[in-house]
Amino acid sequence: GALLALSKPPGLPILGRPGDLSLHALLPALRRRLGLRAELHVVKAPAREYSGLVLLSTCYHTTKKLQQFFTNARQRGQHPATYRAVTVGVPAEVEGEICTGLCWQQQGDRAMVVPVLAPGRHSLARKDVKITLTCYRVLSAMGGCALLQLQPRTAFPEQLQVHLTLVLCPALGDHEHSSHVGRVLGVPFFLTPEKKGHTPTRTQVLDEELVSRLGLSPRQLHHLPLHIHLQELVLP
């Protein structure tokens, strides 16, 4: 019918400035290539850094109806979106929930999403902090890495990356939030933003064995994409 599903590579933004490569900029060419009469609208798509399912529609009413469905489903505690992630480290529990407050915090000249482990009532009332929840399950583990299923029950920018650091298993290719996980004698622990300092790590630190298994040189590590993938969308 009106729906079209694509798989997006990591690093492609949904919106962009005029002249920049983005999903929206590609829609007219896609419409011509497929011979569609009506314009394409983005119903649901993963964030820029993620790969995975993009749901498009040629019907404005279908787009609005489905977007409302996704919002209502989250409010009812359902999880219409399922992600997969490759993590550096294996969670201590095979499955569980990650619940924490999240907020934007200015660090130097950048705004970052940081966890607020014990948010106050006033910050919640002012909506400075939002309580977020992700359900996870370990699907496979090997060589100190894991394949996780992630089902966010709330929507907040970079929620999945931050939540994975709280279980001490940052996503492979997370060059921003992985620096929240430190190690002493091989044992991981969480570094709060204050302890971490105001200079975020630009490249994820991986042990030599993993870098060798990935077949990458140290110079190539900065280009390692974020391994979080929108795997499945449930439709009404």
Is the predicted pLDDT of residue 194 greater than 70, yes or no?
A: no
- Whole-model pTM: value is 0.90
Domain ranges of the chain: 3-78, 83-233
Burial tier of 35 (Cβ tally within 10 Å: 0-12, 13-18, 19+): exposed
C-alpha 233/C-alpha 56 separation (Å) is: 12
Q: What is the DSSP string of 150-161?
A: EEESS--TTHHH
Q: What percent of the chain has pLDDT over 70?
A: 96
Altogether, the residues listed in the chain come to a count of 236
Comparing 136 with 73, the larger pLDDT belongs to 136
162-171 average pLDDT score: 96
- Predicted confidence band at 201 (pLDDT cuts at 50, 70, 90)? low
The verdict on domain 3-78 having CATH code 3.30.70 is yes
**If DSSP codes are grouped into helix, strand and coil, which group holds residue 227?**
coil
* pLDDT for 110: 80
Asked if 220 and 206 touch (Cβ cutoff 8 Å), the reply is: no
By DSSP bridging, strand 130-142 and strand 145-152 are: antiparallel
